[in-house]
């Protein structure tokens, strides 16, 4: 597979001047880490790939908080990390941030590791209602924290001009 080659190109694209290009590059970089880890057995390499995916999706969400694909994949990567029992799954969500926006047509050739909600084979066991509510509440709290963090970054101090 050519994920390594894609990562090289995307690592350059994440430094682009255009924020849309940067956002899509972060999203696709996350996909290059998530896709190979998705069906792989639990291992330190898989945990590291999932942590990289989480970071990339968060960076994408910081640039566009409305990107539902990045939100979905972020949640998927975090759940896979938790299922594996990786210690970084608990610490990593507090790092970085995400906000994300985007359309479904972000990258025409991007891998689509997202399972359909009704998919059967390989899908995680069904959640109870309380688990689903907890996941939604956690996602909402993260979203709110990221929005506040984004607002703090964009606030500009008033100009130092005398008004007399």
pLDDT tens, residue by residue, 141-152? 887 777 777 777
- Reported as a pLDDT band with limits 50, 70 and 90, residue 157 is low
Backbone angles phi, psi at 63, to 5 degrees: -85, -25
How far apart (Å, rounded) are the C-alpha atoms in residues 131 and 90? 17
Cβ(74)–Cβ(27) below 8 Å? no
Alpha-carbon span 145 to 95, nearest angstrom:
12
Give CA separation, 141 vs 56, 124, 129, 135, in Å. Answer: 19, 23, 18, 10
Indicate the range of 26-30, 45-49, 78-82, 103-107 predicted with least confidence. 103-107
pLDDT of residue 125: 57
CA–CA dist 20, 135 (Å, integer): 28
Domains of the chain with bracketed CATH: 3-103+127-154 (1.25.40)
Q: Over 50: is that where the pLDDT of 119 sits?
A: no
35 against 102, higher pLDDT: 35
C-alpha–C-alpha distance, residues 57 and 59, integer Å: 5
Phi, psi of 71 (to 5 degrees): -65, -45
Residue 131's pLDDT is 73
Q: What digits encode the pLDDT tens for the residues 45-83?
A: 999 999 999 999 999 999 999 999 999 999 999 999 998
């Amino acid at each position: 597979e050519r994920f390594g080659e894609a990562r090289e190109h995307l690592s350059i694209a994440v430094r682009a001047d255009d924020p849309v290009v940067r956002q899509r590059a972060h999203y696709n970089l996350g996909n290059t880490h998530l896709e190979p880890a998705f069906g792989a057995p639990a291992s330190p390499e898989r945990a590291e790939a999932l942590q990289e995916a989480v970071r990339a999706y968060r960076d994408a969400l910081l640039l566009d908080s409305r990107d539902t694909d990045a939100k979905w994949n972020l949640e998927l990567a975090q759940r896979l990390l938790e299922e594996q029992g990786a210690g970084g799954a608990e610490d990593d969500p507090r790092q970085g941030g995400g906000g994300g926006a985007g359309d479904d047509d972000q990258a025409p050739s991007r891998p689509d590791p997202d399972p359909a909600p009704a998919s059967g084979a390989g899908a995680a066991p069904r959640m109870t209602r309380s688990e689903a509510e907890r996941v939604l509440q956690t996602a909402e709290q993260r979203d709110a924290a990221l929005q506040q963090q984004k607002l703090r970054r964009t606030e500009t101090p008033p100009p130092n001009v005398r008004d007399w």
